[in-house]
């Protein structure tokens, strides 16, 4: 297969962001003529300009190294596993955030929604999963959530939550063009939808507009309702860190907060 030129790659990302040459040139504070010459191969951008363009285009760090290589420059962004000593501080920070969020659930996932770590408060939500294979490593959080033998039957507002997750996934695909995420989306859309027989829990804020979508899960302790928040590392220079996200779940009503606070803590922990 013939390697794509730098101009072709930049043009693809620009079109993916629905930007004209003029739009990108204005945003990057360069002339449209210069950008046109770069895309046509008539001009070679400096390394700094190329990094600036990829920043303005919102190109994921993972995809910026190939762009640099296509232009004849060395890769800039490192990619290391979370077990690498150089990322020890980041891993400790993740664990601290997850632990500090207890007694409310929180988890860390990578770019493909693979579970990296979770706090102890997540366990009550996973009780009753029929297919233990969904809990075998590596665990895909979206598959676990929407699979009929996973959490799906116990999600009270399943249709609403499913639409929310699929929309988030579609946004990720639009931003990254990741083929693995495309395949995951196709898989999730094809999963059977369990019948909705339970009513939504009273006291849950339903009119949230575009701010948040509640997650309502039936557990042995009762129906728990959550609002979720996503946290990412700010301006990371490592590809692995740039693709990590922490999903923190907050109680959406007083009943849920009371149930979670009353749950037994692991041995050796003080309340």
Q: Give domain status of residue 201, yes or no.
A: yes
| Residue 235 is assigned to a structural domain of this protein | yes
DSSP result, 167-182: HHHHHHHHHH--HHHH
Domain range enclosing 231: 85-262
Across all residues in the chain, what is the average pLDDT? 90
Q: pTM value?
A: 0.86
Examine the domain organization and report whether 90 and 35 are in the same domain: no
Q: Are residues 244 and 139 in the same domain?
A: yes
The rounded percent of the chain whose pLDDT value lies above 70 is: 90
Task: Give the per-residue pLDDT at 180.
Answer: 97
What is the CATH classification number for the domain harbouring 247? Answer: 3.30.450.180
184 φ/ψ angles, rounded to the nearest 5 degrees: -65, -40
Residues 57 and 126 reside in one and the same domain:
no
174 located within any domain: yes
SS3 label, residue 28 = helix
- Residues 208 and 102 both lie in one domain: yes
- What pLDDT, on the 0 to 100 scale, is given for residue 178? 94
The pLDDT value recorded for residue 184 is 98
Could you tell me if 59 and 111 lie in one domain?
no
- Report if residue 252 sits inside a domain: yes
Same domain membership, residue 25 and residue 93: no
Scored b (16 or more CB within 10 A) or e, 176-202 reads bebeebeebbeebeeeeebeeeeeebe
Residue 39 has pLDDT above 60, yes or no: yes
How does residue 134 score in pLDDT terms, banded at 50, 70 and 90? very high
Whether residue 254 sits in one domain with residue 152: yes
Domain membership of residue 271 (yes or no) is no
| 226 and 114 in a common domain | yes
| 139 domain-assigned | yes
Residues 137 and 39 in one domain: no
Considering the domain architecture, whether residues 89 and 63 belong to the same structural domain is answered as no
Does the pLDDT at position 8 exceed 80?
A: yes
Looking at residue 100, the DSSP 8-state letter turns out to be H
The span from the CA of 63 to the CA of 85, in Å, is: 24
Is 220 a domain residue? Answer: yes
44 with 106, same domain: the answer is no
Decide if 116 is inside a domain. yes
Q: What is the CATH number of the domain that holds 34?
A: 1.10.260.40
Task: Count up the domains in the chain and report the number.
Answer: 2
For residues 131 and 58, membership in a common domain is answered with: no
């Amino acid at each position: 297969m013939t390697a794509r030129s730098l101009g072709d790659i930049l043009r693809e990302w620009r079109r993916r962001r629905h930007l004209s040459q003029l739009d990108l040139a204005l945003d990057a504070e360069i002339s449209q003529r210069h950008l046109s010459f770069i895309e046509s191969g008539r001009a070679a951008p400096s390394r700094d300009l190329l990094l600036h363009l990829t920043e303005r285009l919102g190109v994921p760090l993972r995809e910026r190294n190939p762009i640099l290589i296509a232009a004849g420059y060395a890769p800039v962004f490192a990619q290391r596993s979370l077990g690498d000593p150089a990322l020890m501080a980041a891993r400790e920070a993740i664990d601290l955030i997850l632990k500090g969020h207890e007694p409310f659930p929180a988890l860390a996932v990578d770019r493909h929604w693979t579970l990296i770590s979770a706090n102890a408060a997540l366990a009550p939500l996973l009780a009753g999963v029929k297919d233990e294979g969904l809990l075998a490593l590596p665990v895909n959080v979206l598959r676990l959530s929407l699979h009929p033998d996973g959490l799906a039957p116990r999600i009270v507002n399943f249709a609403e939550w499913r639409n929310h997750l699929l929309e988030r996934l579609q946004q990720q695909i639009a931003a990254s063009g990741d083929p693995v995420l495309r395949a995951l989306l196709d898989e999730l859309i094809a999963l059977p939808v369990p019948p909705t027989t339970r009513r939504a829990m009273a006291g849950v804020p339903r009119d949230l507009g575009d701010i948040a979508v509640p997650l309502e899960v039936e557990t042995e302790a009762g129906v728990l309702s959550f609002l979720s928040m996503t946290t990412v590392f700010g301006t990371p220079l490592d590809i692995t860190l740039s693709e990590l996200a922490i999903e923190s779940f907050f109680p959406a009503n007083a009943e849920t907060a009371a149930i979670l606070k009353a749950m037994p803590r692991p041995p050796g922990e003080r309340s």
